[in-house]
Structure 1
Amino acid sequence: MQRRQFLQQAGLGGILAAGVAPAVHAQTDIRWRLVSSFPKTLDTIYIAAEVFAKKVAEATNGRFIISVHAGGELVPPLGVVDAVQQGTVECAHTSPYYFFGKDDTFAIDCAIPFGLNSRQMSAWTYEGNGLQLFREFYRNYNIVNFAMGNTGAQMGGWYRHEIKTLADIRGLKIRIGGFSGKVFSALGAVPQSIPGGETYQALEKGVIDAAEWVGPYDDEKFGFYKVAKHYYYPGWWEGGPQLALYVNAKAWEQLPADYKAILTTAASHAHVHMQARYDVVNPPALKRLVAKGTQVHRFSPQIMQAAYDASMALYSDLSAKNPAWRKIYADYAAFRDEQVLWARFAEASFDQFMQTGRNKKR
């Protein structure tokens, strides 16, 4: 019997019984909603979700459509985990460390002070044990996770006055996100939780003494350089912040195998796209900021060492109290130490020469 005649006579029930469901699945029309934790104005981060959705649509000839909703459109920016967990929406794009209040372990899936850089984070996720460990962790939240973006190492923020010694940090009121605030507290600072859109006004009015955001391109948009001239680096608490795509586990399991493969590939594509975008836009943005009077400073060795010691003490404490943290951080830390050892012989020495030692004549 020819295929067309068989399809006409058998009906859907007959097709499924005959074991040819994959041919039907390939024609499935699916509509999902993705909620972002970010506003559209933060184009370098928000756009990753759009890139992802576009790639899924292209690969399925428009049969799998994912609508993207900026933070606050459907759910609050920090409500995306609950929305995915409860099945209110099918997926979300966010920074895992936003949710350290649920469990500090979330932070490892994004960035922790003196952790992996972006390249190392991708290596741990895709070729190390990172993805497997977090797939196990997120089962408790009814979530299937994917890496989807990285900003690269961030800057250390904007300060109204120079920060030369640890004494300058004590009592410092700094706007800083979540988990990293624990280390600043240990150094004597006073972390402040202020929404991004309100940070400029707080800095301008002296409500806070300093603020960190991302890097030159995003920071320039907020205009921080107008009210705080001192721009520090590196952002030792965000050496390679990796963003995540969270998918509701039930929605994931209901996808046909080919759509699962397409979604996975699209997330990886968006992952690469985001950092490539940041690497393109940050250099000229930093030049513009300097031209506008920004003074760029490097954190002193004393401050870096004190922050490192406080971070390690925090991780030791969390490992003693939190089994999930202990399991994942042990693998993460071992991977980090191996990567640092290797990088010192290859990447770091090459970068150092290119930055400081090369003859600039061409």
Structure 2
Amino acid sequence: MQKLFGAGVTAALSFAFAGEALATEWNVSLWGKRRAFTEHVEKLAELVSEKTNGEFTLNISYGGLSKNKENLDGISIGAFEMAQFCAGYHRDKNRVITVLELPFLGVSNLEEEMAVSAAVYSHPAATEEMAQWNAKLLMTSPMPQYNIVGTGEPRDELKDFEGMRVRATGGLGKAFEAVGGVPTSVTATEAYQAMESGVVDTVAFAQHAHLSFGTINQAEWWTANLNPGTVNCPVVVNIDAYEGLSDEHRAALDSSVSEALDHYLANYGELLKKWDSVLEEKGVQKVEIADSEIEAFKAKAADPIREAWIADMESQGLPGQELYDLVIKTLEDHRSGS
């Protein structure tokens, strides 16, 4: 009887430990607060848990695991398993995807932004560069074209950008610099304070960020149609953690990406529909820039910055021209439905 009892306890304990071994928890490093920019990660966590009956969970942290500029470093050392970052935060670490931050690429909506990002993320050069940081590109965080908010008289002519202190990162910062602006790359979470204290005159963000980080509450005007470009912010996973998943859990993660992105697009679309009413509610003037001013901006920023970027990438042994051509071809294919 004692032997049977002992065998039963052993079996029960073995079963319990086996069940525990099946459970997988990943820590996910984001920043700020839950917002349109993070909805695909939230949806991904929900879907993965559903598909695995709660055996695979994503524990999402908004700033508790790392600073936003250090998320890629955290992924590289396995401090957490998943993270979001923006290319402009550390351009030297993710050179390939900065092609997506070149000014005036001509991307006109979130679906096109998602398409060009997927194409670049799939390029071997992007895969290889991210692997140096033990990171796998999982999905993008598609954002609309950035526009700026500011105080005082609206800056609606190119000459008004001379000396303008603007919060703008990556290729956007380069674009404003080309027309006499003074870009600063303070993080999104620092933008409100930078605007409030006068460190910057204007802030370039997508709509959700102007809401989430409060810059819209400082604003007196908003450029509705400047559309100089956007920032590219991928979600990545630690390669060792990804490869260590069971086949079932990896399939649950991979199969949830497209659905999570569909949710993101739908949610962001609702925000864009409400944007004009938000501006009206907060008393923010909607400024339309003349086509001639935008064309002058493009002439000074688009071609020179693109050519300089391509030359810089090629000098580092990266296929700069090929990557740029891939973006343009993907846009063409997407628009033609092929």
1:141 is aligned to 2:133: yes
Distance in structure 2 (CA, Å) of the matches to 1:203 and 1:277:
28
2:45 is paired with a residue whose SS is helix
RMSD over equivalenced CA pairs, Å: 3.1
CA contact (8 A) 2:83 2:235 kept: yes
Q: CA deviation at 1:174?
A: 1.0
List runs of 5+ in structure 1 lacking aligned partners. Answer: 1-10, 12-23, 347-362
Q: TM-score under structure 2 normalisation? A: 0.81
1:32 is aligned to 2:23: no
CA distance 1:148–1:57, shift in 2 (3 Å): farther
1:121 is aligned to 2:113: yes
Q: TM-score under structure 1 normalisation? A: 0.76
CA distance 1:104–1:314, shift in 2 (3 Å): farther
1:25-84 residue CA offsets vs partner (Å, 9 max, x unmatched): 9x8221211111x211x521233322111111111111111211112x011111110111
1:270 is aligned to 2:260: yes
Q: Write out aligned runs for 1:189-204 (5 A).
A: 189-204=181-196
Q: CA deviation at 1:298?
A: 2.4
Q: Write out aligned runs for 1:196-235 (5 A).
A: 196-215=188-207, 217-234=208-225
1:143-173 residue CA offsets vs partner (Å, 9 max, x unmatched): 1111143233343433532223321111111
CA distance 1:74–1:291, shift in 2 (3 Å): closer
1:297-336 residue CA offsets vs partner (Å, 9 max, x unmatched): 2233344234333232122122222236852552443442
CA distance 1:342–1:271, shift in 2 (3 Å): closer
**206-215 or 165-174, which deviates more:** 206-215
Distance in structure 1 (CA, Å) of the matches to 2:166 and 2:239:
38
Amino acid at match of 1:59: K
1:307 is aligned to 2:307: no
CA distance 1:137–1:45, shift in 2 (3 Å): same
CA contact (8 A) 1:320 1:326 kept: no
1:242-276 residue CA offsets vs partner (Å, 9 max, x unmatched): 53221111111122233222111222222222221
1:254 is aligned to 2:249: no
Distance in structure 2 (CA, Å) of the matches to 1:129 and 1:223:
32
CA distance 1:160–1:100, shift in 2 (3 Å): farther
CA distance 1:320–1:211, shift in 2 (3 Å): same
Q: CA deviation at 1:98?
A: 2.6
2:147 is paired with a residue whose SS is coil
CA distance 1:123–1:54, shift in 2 (3 Å): same
**Percent identity, aligned pairs only?**
21
